[in-house]
Amino acid sequence: MAHSVSDHLHVMIADYDRFIRTVIPHYETMRAVQLELLARCLPSDGRVIDLGGGTGALARAVAEKFPAACVEIWDTDPAMLEVAQERCAAFGDRVHLIERSFAEPLSACDAVVACIALHHVKDMAEKGKIYANVFRALRPGGIFANADCVMSETSAVRAASYEGWAKFMEEQGLSPAETQQQFAEWANEDYYPPLATELRLLAEAGFAEPDCFWRTAPFTVFGGVRS
């Protein structure tokens, strides 16, 4: 499940953090929601795994907000991990980089987070296995908080979601043609399941009460707590 962000987005890694904010609405809001959820569930010295952690932006935010917590960044893209290493160097051994697929079994932890990463898993059986790995890794009371895109299978709702998304991108300076080209290219590697599908997979993985924690369609923070 190796994945190259620069190939997928056609953007230089050094420009990723700026670029992602021009194509993903509510990016900062989703991160704030994730951090607030961790504040309610994470032990002060807890251990967090960031799946598909890329440039380390989310890991850094976690390490800054929770000064005794440790964070592991799991990613298969060495170019992204190079940026993460530099970004998180100040935290010393509190932030570890793991060049490994997030489809592999995870070690025990108190929280698992992901941001705009798991939609790269197009096979729902494989995604279900990832969620099962997450559930097994979480200690009791541990939380999974995933920020990602979900799409309704109802055509009118789906069309409205894409229209709103395109409007945001155009407000950031992309032309309508560039916006549609981005959607077409992403569709080669990405799949945005309905929220109901995501919650069902989480329930099947073992989460007793999978939930949507925040949503402005089609962007959502969802997951569950291991009871």
Q: Which two tokens stand for residue 136?
A: 């097994």
Q: Where are the domains of the chain?
A: 5-151+191-225
Task: Quote the DSSP letter at residue 89.
Answer: G
Q: Which two tokens stand for residue 146?
A: 């995933």
Task: Quote the DSSP letter at residue 96.
Answer: E
Q: Is-above-0.75 flag for pTM? A: yes
pLDDT over threshold 50, residue 134: yes
Question: Predicted confidence band at 67 (pLDDT cuts at 50, 70, 90)?
Answer: very high
Share of the chain above pLDDT 90, in %: 90
Q: Give the model's pLDDT for residue 8.
A: 46
Q: Which two tokens stand for residue 22?
A: 């021009």
Q: State which fold the 5-151+191-225 domain adopts.
A: Rossmann fold (3.40.50)
Total length of the chain? 227
Question: Predicted confidence band at 1 (pLDDT cuts at 50, 70, 90)?
Answer: very low
Task: Quote the DSSP letter at residue 13.
Answer: G
Q: Give the model's pLDDT for residue 17.
A: 85
Q: Residue 186 and residue 178: Cα distance in Å, rounded?
A: 12
Q: Residue 145 and residue 111: Cα distance in Å, rounded?
A: 8
What are the backbone dihedrals phi and psi of residue 3, each rounded to the nearest 5 degrees, phi first? -145, 130
